[in-house]
Amino acid sequence: MTINRARAQALLEAAGHTDIKLPATLDGAPIAIDIPTAVVSRYGACRTARERQSQMDTCLILTQLPSPTVTTPPDLNMQELAAAGLQMAGLSPSKRRPSAARLTGHPPWSFLSPWAKLTTSKCL
């Protein structure tokens, strides 16, 4: 896909990120995203995703996948954009920068369990 710099800048500003200025060289620049294959294991009384959460209280879903690879122009500050995204998701300012640094790094894998009310944890 290619970047429409004016549109991307307008989206950032509409979200309240007037401090982030995208370089003019980004206009028309390519971005490639490679999302690797994931492995999913379900344990317990698991049902379909359409069923209510209370019906899946005894279900544990583990997902393992390598980090996606995002290829961007060298002058795009991905850590700054990740921090902006985390702010839009409601993360406090004190946690935004460290979390953005982890997002733009390469965590080996994670356990994800949206229905069992577990938090995501990084496994080393």
In a domain, 61, yes or no: yes
User: What pLDDT was estimated at residue 47?
Assistant: 73
In a domain, 11, yes or no: no
Q: Give the SS3 label for residue 98.
A: helix
Please give the residue range of the domain that contains residue 49: 35-67+110-124
In a domain, 40, yes or no: yes
In a domain, 9, yes or no: no
Q: Are 104 and 78 in contact (CB under 8 A)?
A: yes
In a domain, 78, yes or no: no
How many domains does one find in the chain? Answer: 1
In a domain, 82, yes or no: no
pLDDT, tens digit only, all 124 positions of the chain: 899 999 999 999 998 889 899 999 999 999 888 888 888 888 887 776 666 655 556 788 888 888 788 888 888 888 888 878 777 777 777 766 666 556 555 444 444 434 334 334 444 3
User: What pLDDT was estimated at residue 9?
Assistant: 93
Look at strands 59-64 and 69-71 and give their pairing.
unpaired
User: What pLDDT was estimated at residue 110?
Assistant: 42
